[in-house]
């Protein structure tokens, strides 16, 4: 079946602009995660959605970052007033239930963001 998809695959923006990154999880997966992969910081957790529960936003680096998940499926990560240090690959993952961390997370191909 279809895996996790992300769009756009690449995004170039100017410093100070807002960007939206989209993630379509695997159908039926209730848990959705966003991670960031950058040269300086490696792979970092950003935010986690599980069903209708309040999201865990503990990994968001600043209040310029926000995310939502509509209808328990598609998620959008928004970065406001982008900075050059936001340049990274943003990875989305989903898992069937997000049950106590033992499940496999299935990753999308990522969105490569470059802030000029």
Partner 1 sequence: AQSVTQLGSHVSVSEGALVLLRCNYSSSVPPYLFWYVQYPNQGLQLLLKYTTGATLVKGINGFEAEFKKSETSFHLTKPSAHMSDAAEYFCAVSDPFGNEKLTFGTGTRLTIIP
Interaction between residue 65 and partner 1 (CB under 8 A)? no
Give strand ranges (E) for the chain.
5-7, 10-13, 19-24, 31-38, 42-50, 65-69, 75-79, 88-95, 106-107, 111-115
Determine the size of the site formed for partner 1 (CB under 8 A): 29
Structure tokens that stand for 31 in this block: 């848990």
Rg (CA), the chain: 13
**Member of 23, 91, 113, 115 binding partner 1 (CB under 8 A):** 91
57/81 with CB nearer partner 1? 57
**Taking Cα atoms as reference points, which of 114, 97, 88 lies closest to residue 26?**
97
Minimum CB distance to partner 1 smaller for 41 or for 78: 41
Candidate segments 17-25, 64-72, 75-83, 89-97, binder of partner 1 by CB under 8 A: 89-97
Q: Summarize as ranges the residues that interact with partner 1 (CB under 8 A).
A: 4, 31, 33, 35, 42-45, 48, 50, 56, 58-59, 91, 93, 95, 98-110
């Amino acid at each position: 079946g279809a895996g996790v998809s992300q769009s756009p695959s690449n995004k170039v923006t100017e410093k100070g602009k807002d960007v939206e990154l989209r993630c379509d999880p695997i159908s039926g997966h209730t848990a959705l995660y966003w991670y960031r992969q950058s040269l300086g910081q490696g792979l970092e957790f950003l935010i986690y959605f599980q069903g209708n529960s309040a999201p865990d936003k503990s990994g968001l680096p600043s209040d310029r970052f926000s995310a939502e998940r509509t209808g328990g499926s598609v998620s959008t990560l928004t970065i406001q007033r982008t900075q050059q240090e936001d340049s990274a690959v943003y990875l989305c993952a989903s898992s069937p239930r997000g049950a106590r961390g033992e499940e496999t997370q299935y990753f999308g191909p990522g969105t490569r963001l470059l802030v000029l």
